Amino acid sequence: MSKAFKQTAVLSHEGAFAALRAAVEKAIEINVPQCIFIVDASGETIASLRMDGAKYLSMHTARAKARTSASIRNPTGSMAPDFAVSAGIASNGGVTNLPGGLPIRFNGELAGAIGVGSGTGDQDIEVGRAALAAIGADPA
């Protein structure tokens, strides 16, 4: 295999839409309107939605959760506190340690991330996990 390129997983727009739909269904089931962002592996938005009744500012945190998770290739919420504060300041709020950002992986390969916000951290994670399960992504 050549070292000039690397094969990568890519989340299709159909996959992003299916994940978004599953996240909305879970949010309705638990009665918590959510803001949901789905990004590719580079952190660029593929799909997003603010459900009726979701907190406006949660659009910003959901996007930051998705981008942070894609960047660190792990769920958000477990950074060392000093690093989290410094990263948040240095990125002008683009990086967050709030729980609710989950990487989207297929067979271990990063394809993107989902960020969910407007509920508690546990509710945000529950909605994100439902989205991952719906598209056959690795659990996070």
* Domains by residue range for the chain, with CATH: 13-134 (3.30.450.150)
pLDDT (mean) for 117-128: 98
pTM, 2 dp = 0.94
**Closest to 78 (Cα-Cα) out of 1, 140, 11:** 140
Mean pLDDT of the chain: 95
How does 76-107 read in b/e, with b if 16+ C-beta sit within 10 Å? bbebeeeebeebbeeeeeebbbbbbbbbbbbe
Q: Kindly report, residue by residue over 62-88, the tens digit of the pLDDT.
A: 999 999 999 999 999 999 999 999 999
Whether the Cβ atoms of residue 110 and residue 137 lie closer than 8 Å to each other: no
- 1: pLDDT confidence band, cut at 50, 70 and 90? low
Sheet with 109-117, side-by-side order of all strands: 45-50, 35-40, 109-117, 101-106
